[in-house]
Structure 1
């Protein structure tokens, strides 16, 4: 049987983002193997979803942080053994550091190698570290059959990296289930009531890991600056910044107004309850949670980045802040929307219209094309 290896930094990433790809590969007759750090709690991990698909799991000490040298060396040798033992036909690796280690460990394998970049964060910068990363990426592109990108800037940058063997494709992220993420005013009101949000309150939601990049602290500072008791803010997610965010919430006197709600796999129930969502990341490959919000008809306030520029039209389905640390601009936008909520209500149709362009069916169609193309290449290599 043909075998496909999917590699990611965190195990939860696979059950959160990769189930569609796994199903496509299974339909093509592949046995799927997943290698990741399943002890990494950044995403909720549901092993039953993989067991039902008869997926083989390897727990390796993978890390997304460039400085974790010991983890990288151990992961390199673990992946090398897995690739040799399983004799895989396709290797599909995700994000910058795990993908670099995966492609290095592949050696001279005849497997087709796919690299999905969830954001090239080094373009536009010129430090020594950045130059080294660019050099490594350029060298590894020679071992890569397909680079998949999720925004236009990364697509153009990937073309610069690509070698003669490399095809570059763009997909609209993993895609949104627009039949599940729908506007639902009645259920939204029910969720607000059960969540303790008073009638008439202005309710903001963010969803994402509690880490430095997602930058929830800027939203907390903006809400503190407004000092409006009618504003409530819920953050859905887990991560290393939880203690720091809890301390900030308490020190700004926002306990009960700003809450850390933990990770939820049913955000389609919560987004319709919000007046708006806020995603002021420092960098973003695309931002699936923001698209989920739009699909529910809820406008988004976000940092003006390569990823968010793919779908946010300022003043039409949301608002941009110019920089991730512009607290005053964010506070002004929130204040304007809270004062006149018709601004947001009038955006609902355009929000939903935008989201349909990122429907999961579009992503699945492109991924099928990519896997079929790499499948043909690996057949050619095997019988060469």
Structure 2
């Protein structure tokens, strides 16, 4: 294999846009020519306008883009089969040195499709952004996803895990080279030095200067569990404590109705998708992250990097980042009273020292640390 062609693959385009820019820059510096395969039509967590713009950006850079119908549901068998055929054809034609795949379904499809290519020298790297089986996960998740991931590990050269629970579990399989990498890396210095007009942006978001604002960033979905924070907010008898949700999703109407039913509709702000999250982080007072499931959450790391105190759920990934009582407060996913207590403590003034602690914690998750690890990993697999 004389070429240095690399395929970067994920289920949806936003996974590559948001989480792999630095990886692609590293590969280009190493002399690799990159192709991208993902679903550019459906499923991205950013807006379709952003997806279209991202595709144009890639094409301007000379990167080949393959719109692959990888679904986010395991029940869309037709799309999975078509994606498998397309990726297998690509690997046969391009003789990739590396195929780096992401996301559960994309990772499974790619690894099955690359079985023959591996015999002729292609190295398959899979980044697990959080296994669907974990402590506390449903039995159905364990019955479906655990055997699939373990089987696919036999078709994997390097399995990258980004939290300690996944790393420990994957190491027991003894099927491939398992690496721990502390996330995708956060540009902590850039986030901290972001310039922002605090008064103007708070006005735009409908926030008064006297308000104390908790922020959540992410899809309005069952997995992100925003309901527990809304219910906790209703228990805090202070009209100046508010909750800002940045993102969109299928639960938006339900969450708005819940806030109305709890008589706090004027304290819950739905901003929709925003492209200026790093600025918003500088105009809020704390960060709420009540997810039911995480790998190693980027939005939480970004909030910590600017010194925000945290109230979050006690799940894998969150607990890798937030030490209860030091960087914030950690509670069970459905502990409304706990979230209300933690939020009240932060409003009362406990947040400043927590924010300073979080800035220190984020040094080990900084982009420079992660990029050094990924550079060596890519070098090892290009040789």
Normalised to the residue count of structure 2, the TM-score between the two structures is 0.91
Aligned ranges 1:76-155 → 2 under 5 Å = 76-110=84-118, 111-124=122-135, 127=139, 130-155=142-167
* 1:30 and 2:32 matched: yes
Q: How much has 1:132 moved relative to structure 2?
A: 4.2
Give, in angstroms, the shift of residue 318 of structure 1: 1.0
Q: Following TM superposition, by how much is the alpha carbon of 1:129 offset from its aligned partner in structure 2, in angstroms?
A: 5.3
Judged with a 3 Å threshold, the aligned counterparts in structure 2 of structure 1 residues 184 and 37 are, in CA distance, closer, same or farther, namely closer
Q: Which residue of 1 aligns with 2:219?
A: 209
Q: Does structure 2 retain, via aligned residues, the 8 Å contact 1:284–1:306?
A: yes
- Compute the displacement of 1:189 (Å): 4.6
Report if the CA contact (8 A) 1:4-1:30 is conserved.
yes
The aligned length equals: 371
Decide which moves more: 74-83 or 40-49. 40-49
Structure 2 residue matching 1:77: 3-state secondary structure = helix
The structural deviation recorded for 1:100 is 0.8
> Does residue 290 of structure 1 match 2:292?
no
In 1, Cα distance between the equivalents of 2:96 and 2:336? 49
Once the two structures are superposed, what CA deviation does each residue of 1:305-361 show, in whole Å capped at 9, x if it has no partner?
Answer: 22012221111111101x2111111112112322x12x1122222121112221101
Does 1:43 find its partner at 2:46? yes
What does residue range 213-292 of structure 1 map to in structure 2 within 5 Å? 213-292=223-302
Gaps of 5+ in 1: 377-384
- Cα distance in 1 between the residues matched to 2:40 and 2:352: 41
1:84: Cα distance to partner?
Answer: 2.0
Contiguous gaps of at least 5 residues in structure 2: none
Indicate if the aligned counterparts of 2:39 and 2:71 stay in contact, CA closer than 8 A: yes
- Which residue matches 1:379? none
Partner of 2:323: 313
Find the counterpart in structure 1 of residue 14 from structure 2: 12
Per-residue CA deviations over 1:223-266 (Å, capped at 9, x if unaligned) read: 12335321211111122322322333333333342122122232
Equivalent residue for 1:382?
Answer: none
Quick check: 2:15–2:44 contact (8 Å CA) kept in 1? no
- Residues 49-78 of structure 1 deviation map (CA, whole Å, 9 limit, x = unaligned): 323422111111112323332322222122
Secondary structure, aligned partner of 2:265: coil
Summarize the Cα distance change of 1:109–1:243 in structure 2 as closer, same or farther, 3 Å threshold.
same
Q: 1:190 to 1:198 in 2, by over 3 A?
A: same
CA distance in 1, matches of 2:288, 2:271: 15
TM-score for both structures, normalised by structure 1: 0.90
Q: Deviations over 1:273-316 (max 9, x none)?
A: 11110001001111111111111111111111220122211111
CA contact 1:138–1:162 (8 Å) conserved in 2:
no
2:340 is the counterpart of 1:331: yes
SS of the residue corresponding to residue 215 of structure 1 reads coil
Q: 1:186 to 1:138 in 2, by over 3 A?
A: closer
Return 237-246 or 7-16, whichever deviates more: 237-246
Mean Cα deviation higher: 211-220 or 273-282: 211-220
Please say if residues 194 and 278 of structure 2, whose CA atoms lie closer than 8 Å, have aligned partners that are also in contact.
no
Q: CA deviation at 1:190?
A: 4.5
* Stretch of structure 1 that moved more, 210-219 or 359-368: 210-219
Any conservation in 2 of the 1:41–1:239 contact (CA below 8 Å)? no
Which deviations, in whole Å up to 9, do the C-alpha atoms of 1:10-64 show, x marking residues without a partner? Answer: 1111111111111111111211111111122312422243234221111111123
Deviation at 1:184, TM superposition (A): 7.2
The aligned counterpart of 2:376 is: 369
Give me the CA root mean square deviation: 2.0
Correspondence 1:67 to 2:75: yes
Q: Output the CA distance in 2 between the equivalents of 1:151 and 1:368.
A: 19
Give yes or no for contact 2:310–2:327 (8 Å, CA) kept in 1: yes
Mean Cα displacement is larger for which, 100-109 or 82-91?
82-91
Is contact 2:35–2:64 with CA below 8 Å preserved after alignment? yes
* Contact 2:220 2:251 (8 Å CA) reproduced: yes
Q: Equivalent residue for 2:351?
A: 344
